[in-house]
Amino acid sequence: MTVKKDHYRWAARSFVAPGVLLVAVVLYLPLLWTVFLSFTSYDGLSSPKWIGAANYLQMFQDPDFLNSMSNTLLWVVGTLVVPVGLGLVLALLTFNLKGGVWLRLPFLIPYGISGIGVGLIWSFVLQNNGALDQALHFFGVVDNPRWLLDAPLNTVVMIVAAAWQGVGVNALLFSIGLQSIPKEPLEAARLDGARGFRLFGSILWPMLRPLTTVVIGLSIVASLKTFDIVLGMTKGGPGRVSETLALTMYKDTFVNSQYGLGSAIAVFLTVVTLLAAILYLREQLSKKNEF
Amino acid sequence: MNRTRRIAPIASMLAASLLLAACSSGGASSSQTTGTLKFVTDKGAWKPQFQSLNSVSQKDIKVSLNTTGYSDENQYQAFVKQSFRTKQSPGLFTWSTGDSLKQLVDQKLVADTSAIWKQEIANGNVSKDLEKYYTFGGKQYCVPMNIAYWVMYYNKKIFDKYDIKTPTTWAELMSDAAKLKKNGVTPFYQTTTLFTFPWFETLVAGTDPALYQGLSTGKVKYTDPRIVAIMNVWLDQEKKGWFNNAGTTTDPAQMLKQGDMAMINFGTFFGASLEGVGMKPGSDYGYFVIPAVNSSLTKTPVPVETGPMCVASSSKQKDLGLAYSKWWMESNAQSAWGAARGDVPFNPKATVKDASLKTLGTTVASGKYELVPRYFEAAPTPILNVALEEFGAFAANPGDPKPFLSKIQTAADTYWASKK
């Protein structure tokens, strides 16, 4: 029996080993290497030189980095308000509606486009004298805002572009949540006269909590690492005014060849993302919040 | 069943070893001088032209290029830099002269090409003037991939419509710009990304070439009152509306064709882009050397750019790359390249599609002009990167130039302090 168990264990380990090896090689080793690089001065060509916490100190004294942090914060808030909020509204409006699926479908299509593709489409729309400006000119509006050139307007319009892509999938997730709510409490509430906001606030919203937790958690993580839409629309400019932390990390590493500083930003971003996710999920999934 | 259990670990180990084997490489030996050469370039759009030379190179030296073109400069540079740490470093690759090339030479990452230069200069295949861009510590590294002069391209139909002649003095150029603006045509092109430097380069080098050179050696500060004054000239022109909307992402060749602006300050390789959008040299577009801002200068500064073609010193295809590099400098190769790309040939014996380009090469080599390195190569990379962003930010929001210049100077101070 013991021999059989051992055989089973070895067989299991051998099947798991390639996967574990792959994860260690492509995830853990680069992570450790990045942490190491964050304490060095490294230009990508010569050998890394140990400089202690200098990159972290430089990072927090750099106005561009601080600006990136505030832009990223704006992305987190904006992404929660716009794509998640609109996704919920769309799901509620089409819930139990005949043909609701077909109403939600057009909102889902942009989700199939890559972030960089969304960036390119929207930069065509929002660039100076672009599609939107020309449409506004047609209606006699001439003094248009410079959508992609002025901060923080450029970050706001990029959040709108992200919303255009993300509303559909959020609506789909909320719809699944709404459909999974048991009918009994809903009917009971309706019999008691609950309608509209009262029904939403007292029944639907609390019962949607598990799904809302996931959607908001995913949204926070995704917005903290916003990169592709910004790269596609403004490249972080003009200057560096619309950069997010992920873009600052990329620019410092691959454009300015400051691999150490870029790694320090990567480590900082990873820690912030993990902390945000852990704190949020712990709060939401704690017993006091259980429905 | 037991057999299966015994086989499973062995199969897994075999799979892992196969995976590792796949990651290692074969490849040609270092002494090989004929065959297929792996070539990587950041000029992804030029891949068809590079590949079109294979029939000629195969015939001449039995070497063909297998070209991988990158369109993203940052991705390209990261790839090449990381490849030096492996045995996969490229047999041939394109790069930039100036500080970028110096960084590779300092780390002994590129192959010495002194012997090739010596022979090709002796054979009259390349001007000795070009050698300095490739010389570090008395030795040469890489060979010139191309040479480009930065001139002013213009839409000929617009110039004809408003009876504008190509200017020979700065005052004439300014007068032409004013005339165009008066007629509702934007005179000049500008952008907020990458090519944000040409107007700064034109204004500074054209005002005082020594001042321009001082910026690249750290002897002149970006906050120097003379630089501030030059930036204020630029600001004044911005306020007059002489530049297109900075935020546009439309292809500049298409913009010149559409008449979104009348002129664009660009390298002589831009002709291929203009032909790509259907413009013909002579009838649709022309170009002129930009007159010096300072009329008292005895020689008109002309920014020149030469991009290198390098061989990684650790490459398994080092000899093959050097054989191709030598061939590339000869007239057969340069004539074929001239026919394919329409660039100015650096080899005086080569033929070229657009004869006027060859004339330009000989004109700027005459005593009336002074070749100055393009800002992109003249400025050390860490300063350049900040400057490109700040010039872009200035073009997007023209205002007091001092904050933009201060930011560049901060990067310059850090860089020059690190060199002490």
Would an 8 Å CB–CB cutoff place A54 in contact with chain B?
Answer: no
Rounded mean pLDDT, A180-192 = 84
Which residues does chain B have within 8 Å of residue A129's beta carbon, measured at their own beta carbons?
245, 248
Contacts of A249 (CB under 8 A, 6+ apart): A262, A265, A266, A269
CB-CB under 8 Å, B385 with A14:
no
Q: How confident is the model at residue A213 (pLDDT cuts 50, 70, 90)?
A: confident
- Which tokens hold the place of B127? 């001007």
CB-CB under 8 Å, B382 with A257:
yes
| B31 residue type, one letter | S
Beta strands B92-94 and B35-41 are: parallel
Nearest to B409 by CA among B148, B235, B224, B207: B224
- What Rg, from alpha-carbon coordinates, does chain B have? 24
Query: Looking at residue B246, what is its pLDDT?
Result: 85
Q: Select from A7, A129, A256 the Cβ nearest to the Cβ of B248.
A: A129
What backbone torsions phi and psi does residue A173 show, to the nearest 5 degrees?
A: -65, -45
CB-CB under 8 Å, A18 with B15:
yes
Query: Looking at residue B17, what is its pLDDT?
Result: 47
Q: How far apart are CA A151 and CA A154, in angstroms?
A: 5
- pLDDT at position A8 over 50: yes
Query: Looking at residue B32, what is its pLDDT?
Result: 82
ipTM of the complex: 0.78
Nearest to B406 by CA among B389, B390, B385, B393: B390
Which residues does chain A have within 8 Å of residue B249's beta carbon, measured at their own beta carbons?
123-124, 127
- pLDDT at position A37 over 50: yes
**What is the nearest CA distance from B12 to chain A, expressed in angstroms?**
6
Q: How confident is the model at residue A289 (pLDDT cuts 50, 70, 90)?
A: low
Q: Per residue in A218-268, pLDDT tens?
A: 889 999 999 999 999 999 989 899 999 999 999 999 888 899 999 999 999
Which residues does chain A have within 8 Å of residue B379's beta carbon, measured at their own beta carbons?
none
CATH numeric code, A61-289: 1.10.3720.10
Q: Per residue in A145-169, pLDDT tens?
A: 889 999 899 999 999 999 999 899 9
Residue A200 carries which DSSP code?
I
Q: How far apart are CA A68 and CA A73, in angstroms?
A: 9
CB-CB under 8 Å, B393 with A237:
yes
Q: Select from A15, A127, A257 the Cβ nearest to the Cβ of B248.
A: A127
Residue A26 carries which DSSP code?
I
Q: Select from A146, A149, A257 the Cβ nearest to the Cβ of B381.
A: A257
Q: Select from A44, A240, A256 the Cβ nearest to the Cβ of B382.
A: A256
| A189 residue type, one letter | A
CB-CB under 8 Å, B245 with A128:
yes
Domain coordinates of chain A in residue numbers? 61-289
Cβ contact B255:B189 at 8 Å: yes
Domain coordinates of chain B in residue numbers? 30-147+305-362, 149-304+371-418
Cβ contact B218:B417 at 8 Å: no
Which residues does chain B have within 8 Å of residue A18's beta carbon, measured at their own beta carbons?
12, 15-16, 19
Rounded mean pLDDT, A177-204 = 83
Which residue does chain A place closest to B411, by CA atoms? A256
CATH numeric code, B149-304+371-418: 3.40.190.10
Strand partners, A242: none
Q: Per residue in B159-218, pLDDT tens?
A: 999 999 999 999 999 999 999 999 999 999 999 888 999 999 999 999 999 999 999 999
Which residues does chain A have within 8 Å of residue B186's beta carbon, measured at their own beta carbons?
none
Which residues does chain A have within 8 Å of residue B382's beta carbon, measured at their own beta carbons?
256-257
CB-CB under 8 Å, B192 with A17:
no
**DSSP assignment string, A145-156:** --TTTSTTHHHH
Other Cβ atoms closer than 10 A to A77: 12
Which residues does chain A have within 8 Å of residue B381's beta carbon, measured at their own beta carbons?
257
Q: How far apart are CA B259 and CA B165, in angstroms?
A: 17
Would you give the end-to-end CA distance of chain A in angstroms?
A: 47
- pLDDT at position A284 over 90: no
Cβ contact B152:B288 at 8 Å: yes
- pLDDT at position A291 over 50: no
**What is the nearest CA distance from A248 to chain B, expressed in angstroms?**
13
CB-CB under 8 Å, B78 with A149:
no
Cβ contact B341:B328 at 8 Å: no
| A54 residue type, one letter | A
CATH numeric code, B30-147+305-362: 3.40.190.10
Query: Looking at residue B330, what is its pLDDT?
Result: 94
Q: Per residue in B146-166, pLDDT tens?
A: 999 999 999 999 999 999 999
- Which tokens hold the place of B54? 């294979």
Q: Per residue of chain B (420 residues), what is the pLDDT tens digit?
A: 455 455 544 444 444 444 444 444 444 446 788 899 999 999 998 999 999 999 999 999 999 999 999 988 888 988 898 898 777 789 999 999 998 999 999 999 999 999 999 999 999 999 888 999 999 999 999 999 999 999 999 999 999 999 999 999 999 999 999 999 999 999 999 998 889 999 999 999 999 999 999 999 999 999 999 999 999 999 999 999 999 988 888 899 999 999 999 999 999 989 888 988 999 988 999 999 999 999 999 999 999 999 999 999 999 999 999 999 999 999 999 999 988 887 788 888 888 777 777 778 778 877 789 989 999 999 999 999 999 999 999 999 999 999 999 999 999 999 999 887
